[in-house]
Each structure stands twice: as structure tokens, then as C-alpha cells.
Copies of this chain bind each other. A is one copy, B any other.
Amino acid sequence: MLNPEQAVLEANTEFYEAFAASDIGAMADVWARKEVVVCIHPGWQALRGRDQVMASWRAIFAGGSPPVRCTDAAVTLMDQMAVVVCVERLPDAKLAATNIFVLEDGLWKMVHHHASPFTARDLPASDPPPPPHSLN
């Protein structure tokens, strides 16, 4: 029996397996059917609603999926909603992804996907140290 966090990560894995396999049936099963879903592909405006979102996956799969892998997945779980932040690794690019899931009939289903490419960069410097105490 998976705990809720494991169940969310499993749903996230199923999304990437469907993506990498260009499996439109599996992708249809990943996404929620009762909530309004949103998908923001890299460089695209937000697509809203199951019809638009699934049509976008069909268009992407028609060209053949890239061999996408998901790493560094971290879950934030809150009641009936969970957010997964992860890295999507392609042969020549890395993307940051926000994936949101809701419980639908006891199963975690995707309601939101947002992915955008990044170039790893140094983290911004933290706060400068406070000024030294005055000796006065």
C-alpha cells in the first residue's frame, strides 16, 4: 500500500511514461476528468480544458515523443491536492516542471502541467551579512 506521497510520485511517473512512450491512451488516463485541467508546454500559452490539453498531446505525439526522463521529483502534499516539482531531462535540454495532482475517486490525477527549459545557473547570493555591531 503506497502512502499518499508515494501515490503522487507514482502518478507523476505514469505521466512521464505515457509522455516518453507517446501513449495517448495512458496520457488520457493520467489527466483528471472532473476538474478543469491546464497545460503549459514550453513556449506555449496555457491550454485550458481536457479537449485542448489532449489535442496538444496528440499533436506532440504525432511527431514522436522525445526520450524524456523525470528526476529530482519533490512532492508538496496538502489535503486533496499535491504539487510535484521535478526536472525533465532530454538528450539536449533540461526543463523545470510543475505538476499538480488532485484526488479523483481515490486516485491522483493530473490537473496542471507547466514545463520550461532552463540553463543551470549559480544560485543568487544569500543575504549580505549584517553590518558589524558598532563599537560605540
Copy total for this chain: 2
Are A44 and B79 also in contact (CB < 8 A) when A98-B112, A112-B98, A116-B114 are? no
Binds B, one of A5-13, A14-22, A46-54: A46-54
Which chain B residue shows the least CB distance to A114?
Answer: B98
- Tell me if B96 and A126 are in contact (CB < 8 A): no
Which chain B residue shows the least CB distance to A94?
Answer: B45
Taking A40-B118, A46-B87, A96-B114 as known contacts, 17 extra A-B pairs with beta carbons closer than 8 A to each other, sorted by chain A number, are A38-B76, A38-B85, A43-B119, A45-B87, A45-B96, A45-B118, A45-B121, A51-B127, A52-B124, A52-B126, A58-B124, A58-B127, A76-B112, A78-B79, A78-B80, A79-B81, A116-B116
